[in-house]
Amino acid sequence: MSPDMPKSSNDLAVERTDLAAQRNLMAADRTLMAWIRTALSMISFGFTIYKLLQGFQASGEVLLHPHTPRNIGLFLTGLGTVCMVLGTIEYLGSYRDLRNHMAVNLWRPTFAIALIMSLFGSLLFVSIICRVL
C-alpha cells in the first residue's frame, strides 16, 4: 500500500482496535497505581501509629489497653496489604481480557511494584504479630 493511497476501512478498524486496547492497558496501569498509593498510605500509616504508640508506652504513658499499638498497626497494615492484593488480582483480570486483543507483557513496572508492595505489607504484618519490629 503506497503512502498516498487511503487506508481501507478494515485497516482503520484494526488500527483503532489496537489503540483502544492500548488505552485500556494504560487505564489498568493507572488503576493499579491508585491501589498502590492507597495501600502504601495504609501500610505506612499503620506502621507509624504502631511505632508512635509503642514509643508512648515505652516512655511510661498508660494506654487504655496495653495491646492498642499492636492492634492498630495490625489492622492498618493488614488492610493495606489486602487492598494491594485485591488491586493486583483486579489488574490480572484486566490483563487476561486485554491479552485476547493484543500481545501484552505482564511484567510491567506497575505490576512489579504491586508484587513488591504485597510482599512488603505481608512481611510487615507478620513482623508486627511476631513483635520483631
Domain boundaries along the sequence of the chain: 9-129
Q: Which of 22, 33, 8 is nearest to 87 (CA)?
A: 33
Structure-model confidence comparison of residues 100 and 85, the more confident one: 85
Confidence category of residue 31, pLDDT binned at 50, 70, 90:
very high
Which triple of cell numbers denotes residue 92?
490480572
Q: What is the pTM for the complete model shown? A: 0.76
Question: So what's the pLDDT on residue 3?
Answer: 63
Structure-model confidence comparison of residues 5 and 14, the more confident one: 5
* Segment 46-73 mean pLDDT: 82
* Segment 92-121 mean pLDDT: 87
